[in-house]
Amino acid sequence: MSAQQLAEQLESLISDAIDSFSSGLDLYQGTIHNRILSVLKNLELDSEGYIKQSAVNRQVLYDAENLIYEMLPGSKLTSLVAESLMVIPAIDSLNSDYFNSISSGFKDNRMFLKTLQTQTVRSIENTLLQDGLTVSIKNPLVNILYQNINSGGQFSGFLQQVRDFITGNEEVEGRLYSYSRTYLSDALFDYSRAFQQAVTVDLKLEWYSYSGGVMDKTREFCAERVGNFYHQKEIEKWADLEWQGKRAGTTSSSIFVFCGGYNCRHSLIPVHEKVVPKELRIDI
């Protein structure tokens, strides 16, 4: 298996998992919106369509807030995340097959690989189902309810704000969909690249192939590098550059995991130096 073949298979595998997750998430956003709407329709309004300050509306606010915390994460979102995590063993298998093909010193049962998998699963679950979900989705949505109901806002504008946040509109995706899909994509590709980098260090490999497909939205940083070979020392210097989409925290170490930045689907695949053109090796 070549580095490019590995990158293409990983990209296809992870992309399929993300698409399946996103499809279920899109439907769930609609369910969340419809259920919240069924509660908010009980709000009392004045003759001009503004929300009254009343005990009834305080109860509606309480019911809507409880519903949000019931559905986020809820069994459906928990199930979608669990299903997406099932792709991790397949990622391991592809990477292991590749390293077995280029080095007899590879051992896929090393403790650091098992620890990496455990840490990744814990981080994804925490971000998509626990603390991250609360900070990025639940709290902002609850704040929209409080701001409008407590201030007596216009009902129609309030419903539009709730709808835009949950399901999105022609210009933006729903917050849960956008947040979760982007995070999960980055987390799974980061995991695969971290696996590769951990093995690279263990096997003392120094050369890499910037691999993966060129997509419609491929950023210039990636387009200039994909398909080429680079030495570790050259890659480390990239962290000092600036480019659109560069992730915060990109350093000479994390560049091997972050690659081109947010939502990057390329990989720096370690290769045996014998596959690197001789003229490149001479310059190092």
Cβ 208 vs Cβ 230: under 8 Å: yes
Per-residue pLDDT band for 163 (boundaries 50, 70, 90) equals very high
Return d(Cα 264, Cα 225) in angstroms, integer. Answer: 13
Q: 165 and 255: one domain? A: no
How many domains are there within the chain? 2
- The predicted-structure confidence for 2-24, as pLDDT tens digits, reads as follows 999 999 999 999 999 999 999 99
pLDDT, average across residues 120-148: 96
What does DSSP say about strands 229-231 and 207-211: parallel, antiparallel, or unpaired? antiparallel
Local structure of 260: helix, strand or coil? coil
pLDDT at 42 over 90: yes
Per-residue confidence (pLDDT) for residue 194, from 0 to 100: 94
Per-residue pLDDT band for 284 (boundaries 50, 70, 90) equals low
Phi, psi for residue 173 in degrees, rounded to 5: -80, 160
DSSP 84: H
Q: 186 and 268: one domain? A: no
Last residue of a domain, one of 162, 177, 204: 204
pLDDT, average across residues 109-124: 88
Q: How many other C-beta atoms lie within 10 A of the C-beta of residue 46? A: 11
Q: 65 and 196: one domain? A: yes
Structure tokens, 78: 């928990």
Q: 211 and 274: one domain? A: yes
Return d(Cα 65, Cα 80) in angstroms, integer. Answer: 23
Per-residue pLDDT band for 108 (boundaries 50, 70, 90) equals confident
Strand partners, 154: 50
Structure tokens, 102: 């280029």
SS (H, E, C) 207-222: EEEEECCCCCCCCHHH
Local structure of 267: helix, strand or coil? strand
Per the listing, tokens 């596959």 go with 275
Q: 249 and 266: one domain? A: yes
Per-residue pLDDT band for 29 (boundaries 50, 70, 90) equals very high
What is the dihedral angle through the alpha carbons of 51, 56, 61, 67, rounded to the nearest 10 degrees?
A: -130
Burial class for 185, CB neighbours closer than 10 Å (0-12, 13-18, 19+)? buried
Residue at 42: amino acid letter: N
Per-residue pLDDT band for 86 (boundaries 50, 70, 90) equals very high
pLDDT at 33 over 70: yes
Last residue of a domain, one of 180, 204, 228: 204
Strand order in the sheet with 229-231: 229-231, 207-211, 267-271
pLDDT, average across residues 135-157: 95
Q: 281 and 192: one domain? A: no
Comparing 118-122, 130-134, 198-202, the range with the smallest average pLDDT is 198-202
Higher pLDDT, 246 or 218: 246
Last residue of a domain, one of 183, 204, 225: 204
- For the entire predicted model, the pTM comes to 0.91
Per-residue confidence (pLDDT) for residue 107, from 0 to 100: 78
pLDDT, average across residues 260-277: 93
- The predicted-structure confidence for 43-81, as pLDDT tens digits, reads as follows 999 999 999 999 999 999 999 999 999 999 999 999 999
Return d(Cα 185, Cα 71) in angstroms, integer. Answer: 23
Q: How many other C-beta atoms lie within 10 A of the C-beta of residue 210? A: 23
Q: 269 and 198: one domain? A: no
Which residue, among 184, 174, 179, has the nearest Cα to 83 in the 3D structure?
A: 184
Q: 212 and 157: one domain? A: no
Q: 47 and 97: one domain? A: yes
Q: How many other C-beta atoms lie within 10 A of the C-beta of residue 180? A: 29
Domain extent at residue 260? 205-284
Q: 128 and 211: one domain? A: no
pLDDT at 113 over 80: yes
Per-residue pLDDT band for 283 (boundaries 50, 70, 90) equals low
pLDDT at 145 over 90: yes
Return d(Cα 263, Cα 270) in angstroms, integer. Answer: 21
